[in-house]
Every structure is written in C-alpha cells, then in structure tokens.
Structure 1
Amino acid sequence: MNLSFNVLNQAMLTQVLHELRLGNLQRCKALGLGEEDIYLLQSLPPTTLSRLAHATVPWVEIKIDSSVLHRLIDQAERDEQNERLINRALKLGASSTIMYQCFGLAHSETALRRRLLKIETRKGRPQNLSEAQEHALWQRWCQLRAQDGAEDQLDAMMMLAEEQQISLAIVWQQIDHYSNGT
C-alpha cells in the first residue's frame, strides 16, 4: 500500500466531511466534488467512508498551479522585504509618525515592534543638530536625490541616518524643514 495515497485520501475525506458538517457545499464544490458526489458522500455509512479514507489507490489528485505558486512566492518576498525595511527604520530611530506615514503602522504597533526588537526609546525632544551638521545633511540629501531621481525617499533618508549617525526622525525632520523652506 502506498502511504502517500492513503494520507491524501484521508486528508481529503476529513476536509470534505468537515465542510459538509458545516454546510459549506460551495467549498466542497471548490475542492472538486460535483453535486452527485456530495449527495453520495453524505449518504455513505461510516464503514464505507473508512474504506474510502484507507483506499490503496488514489482518488485525490494534487496539481500545482505554477502561476499562483509564483505569485505567492513573490508576495512573500515583498512582505519579508517590507518587514526588513520596517525593522531597519525602527533601528534607525524612526518616529511613530514616520512609521504611520510610510507603513501605515499605528503607534501601538510601532511601540510593540520596538519592544520586540529591544530598541530603547529616548524620552523628550530629539537632539538638535549644529548648523554644520544641518548643512552637511542637506548637501548629502541633494546629492542622493540627484543620483536616485524620484526613487524611494525613505531609503535615501535611512542611508543618510546611517551615514551621519543620527536618528531617522531627525533626518526626516530636517529634510521636511528644508524642503518646505521653513
């Protein structure tokens, strides 16, 4: 007896019976059963259902939908990349406002993520930069923007925070200050 057929048959029968018990006939159809099959399975005695579950020949067919598989993999990779970006931003000192504007994360979610990443939060106002630091920051920002064009501003700001060894919140604040001419 081929064990893989047995396991597949059991899994499918268990799922179908569960869906039938819940009254999810459309789900049973989505699993590949026709209306006659559904009616037949509902009327079978337990001994016959047991024989179906333990059949030595496959009555279940597994098929890979390659395009769906690739879309799911692509989405999973985008999700992982987004998680890395969120963690990087938090480690660089992104404020809750930045996390909300860039990622849609509520303050409570941002705070929880900080705790999970063991990031200490500073209380009070952020440090002020010297005039020389502000100038260097703005000059480097202009360089990055000229190189990247309209590419991801957040990534450029994170690069600045890393290069200048200052928090992302300060970089964000300074760029906003100079960009709006205030």
Structure 2
Amino acid sequence: MVPSLNYDVLTDVLHALKEGNIRYCESLGFTFDEINALDQLSLDELFIVSRATAPFVSITVRHDVLHHLLAQARQEYRHQQVINRAIHLGGSIALLKHYFGLTSNEVCLRRRLLGVSVPYGRTPEPDEKTDAAIWLQWQQRRVENLESPAALIAMMQVTESLMPKPEGLSLTTVWKRIVLCEQDIIANRRTPHAGCD
C-alpha cells in the first residue's frame, strides 16, 4: 500500500506543478524546497522515489469533515430516492421541475434509466369518487405548505394508497387535484370541486 500511496501523491503533485499550482502542493505539506527538488527529478529518479517502501506521506482522518461528507451523502441519496419515487409514481415534467428544478431533458433521461414509460395524450381527469378519495387521503396527511418537500412526500403517500384502486392514477393527477382543492378553500368558494369539502 505504501509504495502505491507514494506514487499516487507524487503523480498528483507533479500534475499540479505542471499546471503551476504550487499552493496545492504546499497544502499537502510539501515545503517550497521539496517542491523544487521534486520538479528537478528525472523520470528514473521519480520512479525510484515513488516505488520506495519507506512512506513519506502519512494519512490522517479529519473526522469532522468525514462526518459532514457522510451526512451530505445520505441526504443526497435520500433526495435522489425521492426523485426516483416521484418518477415511478407518474410525476410529470412540470411537477419534477416545480419541486426539484429538473429540466425536461433530465426527466426524460431519468425515466429511460428507470425504465418508466409515459403514456401519450392527456391524463384523464379523475371521477368524483376518485376525487373524493384523493381529498380524504390528503386530509389525513395534510401539510400546510404545498411547496415543501414534506407536502410532496404526503402526496406520494396519497398516490400510493390509491394506486391499486383507480386505474391510471398518477402523482401528477393527485398533485393537481390537491392544489386545486386547496386553492378553492383559500378562495372560500361556495361550490368547491367534488371531494374538496
């Protein structure tokens, strides 16, 4: 392992030197004289130094940075899982752009990678019974801020709970119906859409 580490570090340092990035070499712990000496070595000399069994580099673990990176990786993984879940549930390009900022090309690529096909044509509007079921399920999970990730998770749960029953129900349909009903409530309409009571 040590010769490989020596080789990797030397390769990295020499690459940085070729780009004129001396600060990077110094950040690794090399002095200016050492950097200059490395820069003067012939290929044969570099090979001998890089293959030496005596380690000239020590590894230390920066626990705070590692913990931060692990937490960041977990958060990003969960974020990607939510996006994939939304796509599997029939999230439209508009929905995915709204909640995740994805472009239409990104959505299409993700759909292809996940093997999700989208039927052509407009999605049929839910009947009154389905509309009422969506609203009832939403009331059990309701999140005040419809723009929040928590609201989208709740909408996905509504979709999943109703999916086996009404054929063709998608996350996009559930999203549109919930937004419409919530807007009706805010506007204090006397005759809200079916199921919005």
Give the TM-score, by structure 1 length.
Answer: 0.89
Q: 1:142 aligns with which of 136, 139, 143?
A: 139
Q: For structure 2, which runs of at least 5 residues remain unmatched after alignment? A: 164-168, 185-191, 193-197
How far off is 1:48 after superposition? 3.6
Structure ranking higher in helix proportion: 1
**Sequence identity of aligned pairs in percent?**
36
Give the TM-score, by structure 2 length.
Answer: 0.83
SS of alignment partner, residue 102 of structure 2: coil
Runs of 4+ in 1 over 4 A off after TM superposition: 148-151
Opposite residue 8 of structure 1, the aligned amino acid is L
CA RMSD of aligned residues (A): 1.8
Aligned to 1:172: 175
- What is the CA–CA distance in structure 1 between the aligned matches of 2:77 and 2:134, rounded to whole Å? 30
- Measured against aligned partners, the alpha-carbon deviations of 1:138-170 in whole angstroms (never above 9, x if no partner) come to 12211212xx66670001100111111120010
Q: For structure 1, which runs of at least 5 residues remain unmatched after alignment? A: none
Q: How does 1:1-182 map to 2 (within 5 A)?
A: 4-145=1-142, 152-165=150-163, 166-181=169-184
Opposite residue 61 of structure 1, the aligned amino acid is S
SS of alignment partner, residue 140 of structure 1: helix
- What is the CA–CA distance in structure 2 between the aligned matches of 1:115 and 1:60, rounded to whole Å? 45
Aligned length: 177
Opposite residue 69 of structure 2, the aligned amino acid is L
- What is the CA–CA distance in structure 1 between the aligned matches of 2:42 and 2:137, rounded to whole Å? 76
- Measured against aligned partners, the alpha-carbon deviations of 1:24-49 in whole angstroms (never above 9, x if no partner) come to 11111122112122122223344443
